[in-house]
Amino acid sequence: MITITKVTASSAKSLFLGKLYSMEYTLGITLKNHEILTGYLEDYSLEELNAIPDDFNNNIFWNIAHTLAHQQMYMYVFSGETPLISEEWITNYKKGTKPNKNANSDDVAYLKSKLITSIEQTKVDYNNGVFKHYQSYTANSGSTLNTIEEAIVFNNFHEGIHHGAISALKRAIIARKEKGQPLLSGF
């Protein structure tokens, strides 16, 4: 016997929100974003990754490194856990920093090696209950993160902002190249 259940707008919304806010789904979005960011590191030259066009104060490399540093801060540091990247990396790319040198091939290799593996490990650690205690953190946007789940969701918002910045940087770099202008790094 087949039972047909009437789906109301309310129950459909509940099902949708349950899927949307599941941590597996949300971390899957983060993983997809990190795959895209890894692609930029593979597709752009060091000169392009380091370029700081007019009217910008950072570059593609810094934005990608910054997203990784903050993902680690949101998940690990504010949970009292040891981050999966070096403290030096977090110090160099956290909020309030800007590029202070050109990234080299070793920097790119390190970043590429951490983008995917950090999210895969975060999934494992989340599922194993590693993030038991969370120190509240209020971001510049005014959003206060009180739980690891809020941090995971907010991280995607934060990464989206920087993905937008990377898109703007890419357009500026392409425009300079089309005009035959040199790329500028500031260093």
Does residue 55 fall inside a structural domain? yes
Residue pair 137/81 in contact (Cβ under 8 Å)? The answer is no
CA-to-CA separations, 11 to 48, 108, 113, in angstroms, rounded: 49, 46, 42
The domain containing residue 80 runs over which residues?
23-178
pLDDT of residue 157: 96
For 88-108, write each residue's pLDDT tens digit. Answer: 999 999 999 999 999 999 999
For 11-58, write each residue's pLDDT tens digit. Answer: 445 555 554 458 999 999 999 999 999 999 999 999 999 999 988 999
pLDDT of residue 6: 56
Does residue 120 fall inside a structural domain? yes
Does residue 31 fall inside a structural domain? yes
For 125-165, write each residue's pLDDT tens digit. Answer: 999 999 999 999 999 999 999 999 999 999 999 999 999 99
pLDDT of residue 182: 85
Does residue 53 fall inside a structural domain? yes
pLDDT band for 4, please (50, 70, 90 cuts). Answer: low
At 163, give phi and psi (nearest 5°): -65, -40
Number of domains in the chain: 1
Does residue 127 fall inside a structural domain? yes
The tokens describing 20, both together, are 């949307």
| 3-state helix, strand and coil shares in percent for the chain, rounded to the nearest 5 | 65, 0, 35
**Measured distance CA(57)–CA(95) in Å, rounded:** 13
CATH number at residue 55: 1.20.120.450
At 95, give phi and psi (nearest 5°): -50, 140
β-strand 137-138 against 144-145: which pairing, if any? antiparallel
